[in-house]
Structure 1
Amino acid sequence: MIVKLTDVCRAFGDTPAIDAVSLSVQRGEILGIIGRSGAGKSTLIRCLNGLERPDSGSVQVEGMEITALDERRLQPVRRRIGMIFQHFNLLSAKSVEDNIALPLKIEGQSRAQRRKRVAELLDLVGLSDKAKHYPAQLSGGQKQRVGIARALAAKPSLLLSDEATSALDPETTRSILTLLKDINRQLGLTILLITHEMEVIRRVADRVIVLDRGRIVEQGPVWQVFANPAADTTKSLLQVLTPELPPTLRARLDPVAGDDAVVKVQLSGDAARQPFFAGLIGVRLLHGGIDTVQGEPVGTLFLGIPARDKTALEKAVQYLKSNADHVEVLGYVSGDA
């Protein structure tokens, strides 16, 4: 276990930023921590690297309790933790290779050692041809690659990513997330991602923790949380990724009666692999689809089921409930849906 937090609390005045948070980060995993602005994400990460001291609770990094350490004793712990930031935090007056080498210079490594390590890191992040460039000559994605290389310079055991893709366009974000996933696989590096974007979690995290007002409201393997979110915060954050009933169809919904019932079905895992439509007659797929998260199928489907025979409709709904994670009759439509 790389990180363990137990009942950590930190308040500013009367406002709790994090409230009795307990979590662990296993060696080699990618853990995503997500929440809206003000959820407590930044305070949590500052408690992890010793920049904030909790009011109470325990913070352990590689088995060492850090909450009572003074600044001198915190330095070796911080060297084991790499940080990448939303706005890169590169030194504009230094070249790419000098930015990356800075932690090694502070550590006291020789010039030859620094050059060797910087060359390895530039190759790892795909910027071997940019060593002599300056930050102003780089794109946003290239700057973040330099930031990642610098964070890896001292061979940390834990990499903290604080909204590292928020300032990037979607295509560049995908490339940075792919790089982080590759680094995790190649180096076995433990990564903790702080983000407000569910797409970031979906693409790279193994496990997700959802924060709201300083508390953990939901956690679990990413595919399970995506398939069947329990907390309102999680459902809200997932709205941008979850299929919704088209507005033209929603406008036609009648709450009581119609030719077809419009049924929302959420399914995942083995249920999404089974040909469960075989047990239904006259059912039409109106909208939705199946995605893959962590290698597991996760889907939301909107079905039109004949509603004139109420008994047959009830049997169809019960059949779906026995085969899916969640089933909800949204209403009824008349004519062709």
Structure 2
Amino acid sequence: MNSIVPASAIERRWPEGAVDEIVRLVDVHRRFGETPALDGISLTARRGEILGIIGRSGAGKSTLIRCLNGLERCDSGEILIEGRKISGLSERELQPLRRRIGMIFQHFNLLSAKTVEENVALPLKIAGVARTERLDRAGELLDLVGLADKAMAYPSSLSGGQKQRIGIARALAAGPALLLSDEATSALDPETTRSILALLKDINRKLGLTILLITHEMEVVRGIADRVAVIDAGRIVEEGPVWSVFAEPQSAVTTSLLSGIRPQLPDHMARRLSQTGGTEAIFSVDLAGPAAQGSLLSDLSAALPHSFRLVHGGIDHIQNQPVARFFIAVPTRDAELPARVQQFLTARSARVEGFGYDTDHA
């Protein structure tokens, strides 16, 4: 019989000798014909961490998650779960390892003919856990996800958010070390998405559970992840703490994925910019940490007294870190002023990019 960690336990208790790295991928490759789905992926996720893996459709996210749970075999490289290599394991040898991995899905995958309680308890029934114990466990988990009163209901009577909560409870049934979330909020409205993300964060905090979020939504990553890895064409093109990646994206893919939630130059202004000259030079300025809440613009005005304009932008807070992005307009009457402004800002840890010249502002 399996030993199951109580859902009510809030302490982070680990077996003697437990490894700190729950997931480790080393130079993982997977091809389908001539197409590389994973092209040298190396990645780690530590115990208790929430790691967001984000990319466009076709980037390799689905193949990656299938390799992690053993449904796909990588062609080369190593995948380790709790320090154990899964490549080369037989299907029978993979079964106990899969019980250490919980899965939640975009479309819930609940069995319509079974009650909520039976859906949650199903993994334990398959694992041979006694009926009394598995129903007790289901009750604990339904209480954890806030749906204890729905134990005897059927999935057809539940909302999308409730179905996903049941899916989360089922994924936790065997007391996994790793929870894989495969686009788990994509089918939900924004308000429900926020509630599901809050639930996952609460579970992570209470149980110390490692969570890998596979998503194409930067809002999801911003909501709860500790780190983010950006995947494109089967490769990790960027990774780091969420606040750092949001503040200073290094790849074009990341910049594109962030375009919907970071301040952008308003369309009406972008359309009238010229690359050859105008009355004002337009710059974007990115800052993070203490510099984002400092007196940079007032310092700039004091050092270079001219009529600068703040045209757009704002400050966000990600992982309790201030992250700022704003756009300024610099007069071009003094031909050297734009370069001096850029030099001043860069010297104070700002990331500065020239967007062109405003031809219409007088």
Please give the TM-score of this superposition, normalised by the length of structure 2.
0.90
- Report the equivalent of 1:266: 286
Q: Percent identity?
A: 63
Shift of 1:260: 2.5
After superposing the two structures, state which structure 1 stretch, 110-119 or 173-182, moved more.
Answer: 110-119
Aligned partner of 1:216 in structure 2 is 236
**How much has 1:335 moved relative to structure 2?**
6.2
2:127 aligned residue (107, 118, 141) = 107
Take 2:37 and 2:359, find their aligned partners in 1: how far apart are those partners?
Answer: 50
1:292 pairs, out of 301, 311, 317, with 317
Distance 1:8 1:300 in 2: 36
Cα distance per residue 1:166-222 (max 9 Å; x no partner): 111111111111110111011100001111111111111111111111111111111
Match of 1:58 among 78, 82, 98: 78
Instruction: Determine if the alignment matches structure 1 residue 320 to structure 2 residue 348.
Output: no
In the alignment, the residues of structure 2 paired with residue 16 and residue 325 of structure 1 have an alpha-carbon distance, to the nearest angstrom, of 38
- The 1-side partners of 2:252 and 2:338 are apart by 29
Structure-to-structure mapping, 1:132-147, within 5 angstroms? 132-147=152-167
User: SS in structure 1 opposite 2:336?
Assistant: helix
Give the superposed CA RMSD: 1.4
Within 1, Cα distance between the matches of 2:170 and 2:81? 21
Q: How does 1:18-57 map to 2 (within 5 A)?
A: 18-57=38-77
- Please state how far the C-alpha of 1:334 moved relative to its aligned partner: 5.2
**Secondary structure of the equivalent of 1:280?**
helix
Count how many residue pairs are aligned between Structure 1 and Structure 2: 337
Tell me how far apart the structure 1 counterparts of residues 31 and 169 of structure 2 sit (CA, whole Å).
Answer: 34
From 63, 68, 92, the counterpart of 1:72:
92
In 2, Cα distance between equivalents of 1:261 and 1:163: 41
Kept in 2, the 8 Å contact 1:265–1:324? The answer is no
Contact residue 239 and residue 245 of structure 2 kept, 8 A: yes
Unaligned runs of 5+ residues in structure 2 are 1-20, 302-306
Please give the per-residue CA displacement for 1:57-107, whole angstroms capped at 9, x wherever unaligned. 111111111111111111110000000001100000001001001111122
Q: Which range moved further: 6-15 or 324-333?
A: 324-333
Give unmatched runs, 5+ long, in structure 1.
none
Point out the more displaced range, 265-274 or 5-14. Answer: 265-274
Does the CA contact (< 8 Å) of 2:106 and 2:186 recur in 1? yes
Specify the code of the residue in structure 2 equivalent to 1:59: I
| Equivalent position of 1:126 in the other structure | 146
Q: Shift of residue 20 of structure 1?
A: 1.2
Q: TM-score normalised to the size of structure 1? A: 0.96
Q: How far, CA to CA, are the matches of 1:250 and 1:335 in structure 2? A: 11
Maintained 8 Å contact 2:330/2:337: no
User: Which segments of structure 1 move beyond 4 Å, counting only runs of 4 or more?
Assistant: 334-337
Kindly provide the CA deviation profile for residues 94-149 of structure 1, in whole angstroms up to 9, marking residues without a partner as x: 01001001111122222221222111111111111111111100011100000000
- Answer yes or no: is the 8 Å Cα contact 2:272–2:360 preserved in 1: no
Whole-Å separation in 1 of the counterparts to 2:334 and 2:121: 73
